[in-house]
Amino acid sequence: MRGRAIGSWWHLARRFFEVATARRLNEPERSEIASWLSSAEESTLFYNQPIADQRHAYRAANRIHGLVPGRVDLIRAALFHDVGKRHSGLGILRRSIASALTKLGFPLRGKNAAYLDHGRLGAIELETLGCESVVVDFARSHHDGRPNAISVDDWRLLEKADHPGKPPHPQPPAIR
């Protein structure tokens, strides 16, 4: 993950409080999520995330659904983009510390490095499940920059869904 990807200190503080106050998904939210899933394996992958990550993913997917309800591929990309975070096993405090240390330029190892590598880890799983390329590519690249396979318009929608209060990042040339 590149330095830009960590975000502002304000963003980190806001995410900390979102994670700390996250509540379980209710039954109507779970039903809506079920309508976007393609298999029992996807459901397991989604619900093996911590509650806060489920909540964040649902909010991102719901934002996409509100903007372009017919684009189930983008809804699913928003829903699954952070599934790799669970590999680190870090709680709220250790995640915050890992992000802050990276922002300060310290190299990370072990679980901390896995947390910061969550995009690649999630993309591998999503690809193994046969998810759409936009789902895999957004999971892999959502902190690093738009890959060629995702259009500029779709990328902007996905970024806005993931970080609704942040201005869009200036886009470096597409990667891959």
pLDDT tens profile 50-80: 999 999 999 999 999 999 999 999 999 999 9
Q: Any idea what DSSP says for residue 1?
A: -
Q: Which residue has the tokens 């029992």?
A: 40
- pLDDT value of position 22: 80
Dist. CA 60–CA 163, nearest whole Å = 8
pLDDT band for position 168 (cuts 50, 70, 90): very low
Fold topology of 3-162? Hypothetical protein af1432 (1.10.3210)
DSSP 3-state assignment of 86?
Answer: helix
- What is the domain partition of the chain in residue ranges? 3-162
Distance CA 152, CA 155 (A): 5
CA-nearest of 154, 107, 116, 164 to 132 is 154
**Which pLDDT score, from 0 to 100, does residue 175 have?**
52
As given in the structure block, the two tokens for residue 43 are 């459901």
pLDDT tens-place string over residues 78-118: 999 999 999 999 888 888 888 889 889 999 999 999 998 99
Q: What's the whole-number average pLDDT of the chain? A: 88
Count of helices and strands (H, E) across the chain: 10, 0
